């Protein structure tokens, strides 16, 4: 059974940093590309960041480029999202997602990911 479990969300102030983590089980993690997405109330789920199976390639939404960093530890089956200089507009539920690298047509499209976590809330106060 595939499981993705996010952790690390919370309430922070604008300008603060926060690191989200996603623990993955039930798959051969090293074959999987990983992505982070977020969804604010009333909005569609949007791409935040993604990382290739090896970690050699990373991808970011323009809105978070330079502030967020995605990384993975294939020995621990985890992927992290380091978020810095957080702003109120970063408030959302953050989801990690996974799919086998060879099946992924687009790192940016949530419909290309087969497996999802339950999400973790990030709230940034002004």
Q: What is the DSSP string of 15-70?
A: T--EEEEEEEESS-GGGEEEEEEEE-TTS--EEEEEE-TTSS-EEE-TTTTTTEEE
Contact 50, 35 (CB under 8 A): yes
Band (pLDDT 50/70/90 cuts) for residue 12 is very high
Q: Which pLDDT belongs to residue 90?
A: 98
% of the chain with per-residue pLDDT over 90: 97
Digit-coded pLDDT (tens) for 89-104: 999 999 999 999 998 8
Q: Which pLDDT belongs to residue 31?
A: 94
Q: Which pLDDT belongs to residue 33?
A: 97
For residue 46, count other CB atoms closer than 10 A to its CB: 14
Helix (H, G, I), strand (E, B) or coil at 89: helix
Q: What is the mean pLDDT of the chain?
A: 96
Instruction: Pull the structure tokens for residue 17.
Output: 């940093």
Question: Measuring CA to CA, which residue among 125, 116, 126 is closest to residue 37?
Answer: 116
Band (pLDDT 50/70/90 cuts) for residue 107 is very high
Q: Which pLDDT belongs to residue 96?
A: 98
Instruction: Pull the structure tokens for residue 18.
Output: 């926060």
Digit-coded pLDDT (tens) for 34-85: 999 999 999 999 999 999 999 999 999 999 999 999 999 999 999 999 999 9
* Strand-pair partners of 46: 38
Q: How far apart are the first and last CA of the chain?
A: 40
Digit-coded pLDDT (tens) for 111-123: 999 999 999 999 9
């Amino acid at each position: 059974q595939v499981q993705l479990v996010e952790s690390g969300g919370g309430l922070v102030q604008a300008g603060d940093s926060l690191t989200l983590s996603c623990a993955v089980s039930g798959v051969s993690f090293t074959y999987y590309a990983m992505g982070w997405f977020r969804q604010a109330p009333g909005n569609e789920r949007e791409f935040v960041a993604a990382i290739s199976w090896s970690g050699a390639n990373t991808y970011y939404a323009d809105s978070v480029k330079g502030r967020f960093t995605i990384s993975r530890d294939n020995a621990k089956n985890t992927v992290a999202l380091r978020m810095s200089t957080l702003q109120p507009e970063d408030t959302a539920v953050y989801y990690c997602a996974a799919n086998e690298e060879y099946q992924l047509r687009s790192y940016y499209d949530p419909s290309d990911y087969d497996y999802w976590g339950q999400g973790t809330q990030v709230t940034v106060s002004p």
